[in-house]
Amino acid sequence: MNVICKRCLLKEMSEASYQNIAELISLIPADKKAEDSLYKNRLEICKGCDCLTNGMCSKCGCFVELRAAYSHNRCPHENKLW
């Protein structure tokens, strides 16, 4: 049975799946990477958002942990939540 987790990050659901995302995040150049406080703040907003399911944003199809890691990225929601 597949479990659907509303408002969960990938890291909270599957450490193995998150490892792939963590690897991609580690490859982001420092000048393009969001600062830690900004990153955490973004993910907190995602965790309170109805668009988050199984770590993925239904507005853009991205894993939010990766999308939020790029400093220039913005939330795709029409209200620009971050």
Instruction: Decide if residue 21 touches ligand SF4 (CB under 6 A).
Output: no
Query: Nearer Cβ to ligand SF4, position 1 or 9?
Result: 9
**CA distances, 4 to each of 1, 13, 14 (Å):** 10, 10, 12
Report the site for ligand SF4 in 47-66 (rule: CB under 6 A).
Answer: 49, 51-52, 57, 59, 64
List of residues 6+ apart from 43 with CB closer than 8 A: 9, 64, 65, 68
Out of 11, 45, 70, 71, the residue judged to bind ligand SF4 by CB under 6 A:
45
Token output for 18: 């998150």
Chain contacts with ligand SF4 (rule: CB under 6 A)? 45-46, 49, 51-52, 57, 59, 64, 75-77, 81
